[in-house]
Amino acid sequence: MIESELPRRPDGSTVLGIVADTHCRAGGIALPDAVLEAFRGVDSILHLGDMGEAAVLDRLAAVAPVLATRGGDDPPHEPRLVAGGRVLAAADLALVAAFELGELVPGAKSQGLELPREPLLALLDGRLRRPVGAVLFAGTHAPVLAMRDGLLLLNPGSATLPVTRGPSGLGTVARLTIRGSALFPEIVQL
């Protein structure tokens, strides 16, 4: 897995905007301005895959630096996309991110949030040799905000093609504030 250091504010905290499953294409679905507004003030943005066209990354980069993982609906030769998972190093812990949950946790599946019986922290800490605070994943178009074995499981859902649309007709993204080893997640309805 590729490791990236998340930028930190003077107080050591960081705010990460998380988006996935946008499936944007010229002449088709466009990245809504509401996504950019929801990410105003974040320190970096993570697109978890299935973006459609790479222009989505450029549009997000107008707000904050962007990291991305690869999903099945992504440009095959886009160098900014990482397949197989990404480690985001924060102040006192690591976040692991991938399009499909099974890329990070053997035997797990994003759809239906299928998880192995073994303690997740043991599976992840053993692979990374560092404390893991969260697993960030996508692929379902539905948001997930859950805890298991002291580990945050976070899926931002889809801003453009959600399972359930909000009053605006759009879906969701997520914001994650990290202060030391404390995580403060939020699902944002657009």
Which helix (DSSP H) or strand (DSSP E) does residue 18 occupy? Answer: strand 14-19
Please state which of the ranges 18-22, 45-49, 113-117, 186-190 shows the lowest mean pLDDT.
113-117
- 129 band by pLDDT with thresholds 50, 70 and 90: low
pLDDT tens, position by position, 146-188 = 999 889 999 999 999 999 999 999 999 999 999 998 999 999 9
Domains of the chain: 2-189 (3.60.21.10)
Q: Percent helix, strand and coil across the chain, each rounded to 5?
A: 15, 35, 50
Percent of the chain with pLDDT over 90: 71
pTM for this model (two decimals): 0.94
